[in-house]
């Protein structure tokens, strides 16, 4: 019993060290190479990616893009803008926002009629 507990404790320490290593490696990654955001809802995808530049904006974010409420874009046009960019908005690659995350994002964009 004693031995088992010690082994569990060691395993726990190992897991913590591993988690720390992953965290610090992430911190060193340049902003341009940020990984996909891992959003599980459209709102999370919005907050993690779009709200950096668009209203409704995350507090403290740089104001760069136009408000998207009532733009009434088609879903196809929205997907095109996200993946290909628009004017000064640069394309958002799948490494940043996966196709699955865009699928979650579209219904969220409908809630404020950015997409019709």
| Residue 55 is a binding residue for ligand HEC (CB under 6 A) | no
Contacts 24+ apart (CB under 8 A), 35-39: 35/95, 35/96, 36/94, 36/95, 36/96, 36/97, 36/98, 36/101, 37/96, 37/97, 37/101, 39/97, 39/101, 39/104, 39/105
- For residue 1 the two structure tokens come to 């019993």
By CB under 6 A, the residues from 87 to 106 that bind ligand HEC are: 87-89, 92, 97
Q: Using the rule CB under 6 A, which residue among 66, 91, 100, 107 binds ligand HEC?
A: 66
For position 64 contacting ligand HEC by CB under 6 A, the verdict is yes
Phi and psi angles of residue 2, each rounded to the nearest 5 degrees, phi first = -55, -45
Return the residue of 37, 53, 58, 75 that touches ligand HEC, per CB under 6 A. Answer: 53
Q: Least Å distance between CB 41 and ligand HEC?
A: 14
The verdict on 39 binding ligand HEC (CB under 6 A) reads no
Question: Which residues contact ligand HEC (rule: CB under 6 A)?
Answer: 49-50, 52-54, 64-66, 68, 71, 73, 78, 81-82, 86-89, 92, 97
């Amino acid at each position: 019993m004693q031995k088992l507990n010690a082994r569990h404790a060691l395993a726990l320490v190992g897991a913590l060290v591993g988690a720390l290593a992953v965290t610090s490696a992430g911190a060193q990654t340049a902003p341009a190479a940020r990984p996909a955001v891992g959003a599980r809802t459209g709102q999370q995808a919005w907050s993690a990616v779009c709200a950096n530049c668009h209203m409704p904006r995350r507090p403290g974010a740089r104001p760069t893009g136009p408000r998207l409420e009532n733009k009434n874009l088609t879903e196809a046009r929205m997907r095109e803008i996200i993946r290909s960019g628009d004017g000064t908005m640069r394309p958002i690659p799948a490494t940043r926002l996966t196709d699955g995350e865009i699928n979650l994002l579209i219904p969220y964009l409908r809630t404020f009629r950015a997409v019709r």
